[in-house]
């Protein structure tokens, strides 16, 4: 799997990049790709998202952009201190989007375990949770069995920004981060573990 890394991208630029790569994968011009990136403060509306779930576009004097997106799910936040992992993968052989989502969750669970954080799935919704608090959101889209969008891991974002939305439809906004769980680690170290587990989960299938 090809790995692309960006320091930061505006959300619309990221969507354009994903669309281009998906088209190339479908045309057999590109291999499966993971994009590791970060976005400026942004609220995104998934296919089930409602504008009324955006409570405020200004938090602590900081303006937060709003963008609609074709991924599944409701309203989520992206911002500095959050690692975004977009997985663009041809799953035509498996034809199992649920398994793909499971692998995305497992990618984060294994990465968190490397830092002695116990991440787990929760009946409240897809994603990864720590003691009932959501540390990672998952939202995917699939076009002709090529996936895009992916997973966001809270390393050390401004958690106050989540108060401007009803994240993933949950009004009590139970979110956390690696930093909140006592782990202060730079993004590039987390990326190293993400890349390692990507090789085993999405290539070797272990």
Q: What pLDDT, in 10s, does the model give residues 71-111? A: 877 888 999 999 999 999 999 998 999 999 999 999 999 99
- CATH number, domain with residue 37: 3.30.930.10
For residue 76 the two structure tokens come to 């989520």
If one counts the domains in the chain, the total is 1
Picking from 98, 85, 120, 87, the residue whose alpha carbon sits closest to that of residue 203 is: 87
Looking up tokens 């609609």 gives 68
Please tell me whether the overall predicted TM-score, pTM, comes out greater than 0.85 for this model: yes
Rounded to a whole number of angstroms, the distance between the first and last alpha carbons of the chain is 15
Active site residues: 168
Q: Which domain holds residue 163?
A: 2-204
Q: What pLDDT, in 10s, does the model give residues 2-57? A: 999 999 999 999 999 999 999 999 999 999 999 999 999 999 987 777 788 888 88
């Amino acid at each position: 799997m090809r790995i692309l890394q960006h320091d930061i991208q505006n959300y619309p630029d990221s969507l354009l990049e994903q669309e281009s790569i998906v088209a190339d994968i479908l045309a057999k011009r590109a291999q499966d790709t993971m994009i590791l990136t970060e976005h400026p403060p942004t609220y995104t509306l998934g296919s089930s998202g409602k504008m009324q779930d955006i409570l405020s576009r200004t938090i602590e004097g900081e303006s937060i952009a709003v963008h609609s997106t074709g991924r599944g799910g409701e309203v989520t936040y992206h911002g500095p201190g959050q690692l975004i992992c977009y997985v663009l993968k041809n799953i035509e052989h498996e034809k199992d989007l649920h398994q793909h989502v499971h692998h995305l969750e497992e990618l984060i669970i294994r990465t968190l375990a490397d830092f002695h954080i116990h991440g787990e799935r929760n009946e409240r919704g897809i994603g990864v949770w720590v003691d009932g608090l959501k540390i990672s959101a998952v939202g995917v889209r699939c076009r002709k069995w090529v996936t895009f969008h992916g997973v966001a891991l809270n390393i050390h974002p401004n958690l106050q920004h989540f108060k401007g939305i009803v994240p993933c439809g949950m009004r009590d906004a139970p979110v956390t981060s690696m930093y909140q769980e006592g782990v202060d680690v730079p993004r590039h170290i987390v990326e190293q573990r993400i890349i390692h587990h990507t090789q085993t989960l999405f290539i070797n299938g272990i």
